[in-house]
Structures are given as C-alpha cells and as structure tokens.
Amino acid sequence: MSISQREILIRTFKSNKTSVVGLFMAFGVVIIALIAPWISPYDPIAQDMNIQHGPPGWAHPFGTDSYGRDQFSRILWGSRVSLVVGILSVLFAMAAGIPLGMLGGYKGGRIDNLVLRFIDIFMSFPIVILGLLVLAIMGPGLIKIVIAIGVALTPRIARLARGSTLSVKGKEYIEAARAVGQRDWKIMLIHVLPNIFGEILVMGTLWVATAIIVEASLSFIGLGVRPPTPSWGAMIRDGLDQLTNAPWLSIFPGLAIFTSVFAFNLIADGLRDISDPKLRG
C-alpha cells in the first residue's frame, strides 16, 4: 500500500467514529473466535438430556438446545466457522480475482474482452446460488464452502480490480515505467497492484460481511459444515423447529451473525467515506 493510502487509512480511523466502532466490534469478534476454546464455559458438543430447551439463565446465558448443549458456548465456537469462511473465501477471491482483473484492465483488447466475458458469466449467478451449485457438486465441508463462496466472489473482485486498474493505467508513473521498458507483469506487480490494493481492501471488508451471510445461508439450507460442529446458520435452522417454545435458540445465533456483519459493514462504510475520491468533493 502506498504511503498516501496508509495516511488516508489512519486519518479515516482518527476522524471517523463509525469505522472505529466497527473496527472494535470486528476485532471483538475475531478475538472471540481466537480464544473461544478457552472462554467457552462448556464443551459445545457435549449433550445433556436433563436440560433440553432450557431458557436463558445464569448457568446458560443463551439457553440450551434439544440435546442440552450450551448455546452460549456454541455461539462462541460458531464465530470460528463464520470468520474462517468469511475471511478465507474473500482471500481466495482476491487471490483469483485481482490478477484476473488487473490482466484485463491493463492489457485491454482481446484479453480484456475475455475477462469481461468471464466476469459477466459468473456475475449472472447470485452468490448464494453459485455457492449452492458448487456445493451440490463438491459436497459439504468447511474447505468446500470456502471454495464455493470464494468462487462466487471472484468475479466481483475481478471486476473491481479491473476498474481500479483502468483508472490507474493512465497515471504518470505507469507511463514512465513503460517508457523505461519495464515488462508488463513487473509493472502490474510493482506499480499497479500497490495502488489498487487500498480500494480493494475496502471492498474486501464489505465482501467479508457478505461472505458471512452467505455461509450462514448455506448452513441454514443444510449444506454447511458437518454436525455437530456449531455453525450459526445451522443453529438458526435447528432452532426454527422450536420457534414457538424456545425462540431464543434461533434469535441469539441470528444476532451473532448480525453483529459480525454489522461490524464489517461499519468498517467498510467508514473506509469508503474517506477513500472514495468521488465522494470527497
């Protein structure tokens, strides 16, 4: 990231309260995910038939499910799945999409057309549906979900990278490098990439939010991680059967998803308010 972009980032957080709040919240979620095994009061998969469907109380702040498992511990552990999938899938999409977008934007011409075509094709699928399709073929499992969502996000990141590349392409330092005779791929790596990375990072946080929702959606449908691993989406689904007698089983996991997504959206909003030149005025 170039110095000016770093400056902007720091300035953002210094002046923009919302993104700071978001950052703290997101940090909180990440910390929870990291230390969940140590702060969970109970084993998230230990069953106890004596306390089925227990309401929230001192011993179990979020209640217990049909197997007597502590919901609070399960929500803490569930953050790991959501974050791992959320962050890894975006990283996957960036690793695949940025080179693609850069290639198309920088080279232009036929290659660009090809890239655009590819983007168009994949963008015609809503993310959940593409994820569904990929999982239908690969079967359930954590890594497979990361790949499924990553594949779905790749075209969107690619399009972003392409757009940014296009706007950077005309800049002087690029012209200079070309005049000196630097190879294309070197130019892309050394000059283009650092300058578009900031924008992509901003959108990246937004996509993490989306990825978390998509993972929850796929788990909710039943294509998520295998039981008994706790996943917020699957918890909502199991809780749905008890909506009339134990609504807390669906409500709390949903709040967890909402909070995490909200946090990342706050960060993204803050970053965008500052770094988007169009809105700067």
Partner 1 sequence: MLKYAIRRMIFVLPTLWAVVTFVFFLIRIVPGGPAVAALGSYATEESIRELEKQMGLDKPILMQYGIFLKDLCRGDLGKSLITNKPISQEISRALPYTLDLAIGGMIIGILFGIPTGIITALRRNRPPDYIGRILSLVGISMPEFYLGILLMYVLAIKLPLFPVLGGGDLSNLSSRLYHLFLPALTLGIIMTAFISRMVRSSMLNVLREDYVRTAKAKGLHERVVIYKHALRNALIPTVTVIGIYMSILMGGSVLTEIIFSRPGLGKMMVFAVKDRDYIALQSVIIIFSAFVFLFNLITDLLYSIIDPRIEYH
Partner 2 sequence: MKGGKYFLIFLVALVSVGICLFSTAFAQEKVVRMALKASDIRSLDPHYGTTTIDYACIDPMFNGLVRFKPEDINPEKIEPDLAERWEHSKDGLVWTFYLRKGVKFHKGYGELTAEDVKFSLEKAANKATSGFAADYSALAKVEALDKYTVRLSFKSAIPSVLGILTNYHGGYIVSKKAVEEKGDKFKLDPIGTGPFMLKDYVPKEKVVEVRNPDYFRGKPKLDRIELWFMPDASSREMAYRKGEIDIVEGEREQAWVKKMREIPGTAIEIFGPGETLVLHFNLTKKPLDDIRVRQAICHAINIEELMKFLGPDVTTKLVSVIPMDYLGGTDKVPKYEFNPEKAKKLLAEAGYPKGFEMSMVITEMSDYRRPMEQVQEQLRRVGINLKMDVIAHSAFHSQIRKDVNPLVLYVCARFPTADPILTQFYYSKSIVGTPTAITNFSHYNKIDDLIEKARVEIDSKKQKALWTEAQKKILEDAVALPLCITKFVFARKTNVDLGYEMRSTLTLVTTIKETTDVRK
Of the pair 23, 188, the CB lying nearest partner 1 is at 23
Run of H or E residues at 149? helix 142-169
Q: How far apart are CA 244 and CA 54, in angstroms?
A: 14
Smallest gap, in angstroms, from Cβ of residue 231 to partner 2? 12
Q: Which of 3, 109, 139, 279 binds partner 2 (CB under 8 A)?
A: 139
Query: Rule CB under 8 A: is residue 96 a binding residue for partner 1?
Result: no
Amino acid type, 35: I
Buried b (16+ CB within 10 A) or exposed e, 27-57: eebeebbeebeeebebebeeeeeebeebebe
Window 63 to 92, contacts with partner 2 (CB under 8 A): 66-67
In the list 30, 133, 166, 201, the residue contacting partner 1 (rule: CB under 8 A) is: 133
Segment holding 200, helix H or strand E: helix 193-221
Tell me whether residue 32 or residue 249 sits nearer to partner 1 (CB atom): 249
Q: Of 39, 59, 95, 243, which one interacts with partner 1 (CB under 8 A)?
A: 243
When the beta carbons of 41 and 126 are compared against partner 1, the nearer one is 126
In angstroms, what is the minimal distance from the CB of 140 to partner 2?
6
Query: What does 66 interact with, of partner 1, partner 2, none (CB < 5 to 8 A by kind)?
Result: partner 2
The partner in contact with residue 123, picked from partner 1, partner 2, none with C-beta cut-offs of 5 to 8 angstroms by kind, is partner 1
CB atoms within 10 A of CB 124: 10
Residues paired with 72 in a beta bridge: none
Helix and strand numbers (H, E) in the chain are: 12, 0
Give yes or no for residue 238 binding partner 1 (CB under 8 A): no
Q: What's the chain's Rg over C-alpha atoms?
A: 22
Q: Does residue 138 interact with partner 2 by CB under 8 A?
A: no
For 71, the 3-state DSSP assignment is helix
Q: Which residues, listed in sequence order, are joined to residue 70 by a DSSP beta bridge?
A: 64
Only one of the segments 89-97, 141-149, 186-194, 236-244 lies at the binding site for partner 1 (rule: CB under 8 A); that segment is 236-244
Residue whose C-alpha is closest to residue 255's, from 235, 271, 279: 235
Return the axis-axis angle of helices 109-123 and 71-107, rounded to nearest 10°. 150
> Taking CB under 8 A as the rule, does residue 209 contact partner 1?
yes
The option from partner 1, partner 2, none interacting with 8 (CB < 5 to 8 A, set by class) reads none
Structure-token pair, residue 106: 């920088």
Instruction: Decide: is 254 part of the binding site for partner 1 (CB under 8 A).
Output: yes
Which string of x and - marks every residue 27-56 that binds partner 2 (by CB under 8 A)? ------------------xxx-xx-xx---
What DSSP element (H or E) covers 208?
helix 193-221
**182, 174, 163: which is closest to 97 by C-alpha?**
163
Which residues contact partner 2 (rule: CB under 8 A)?
45-47, 49-50, 52-53, 66-67, 139-140, 222, 226-228, 240-245
Which residues contact partner 1 (rule: CB under 8 A)?
117, 120-121, 123-129, 132-133, 135-137, 209, 213, 216-217, 220-223, 233, 236, 240, 243-244, 247, 250-251, 254, 257-258, 261-262, 265-266, 269, 278-279, 281
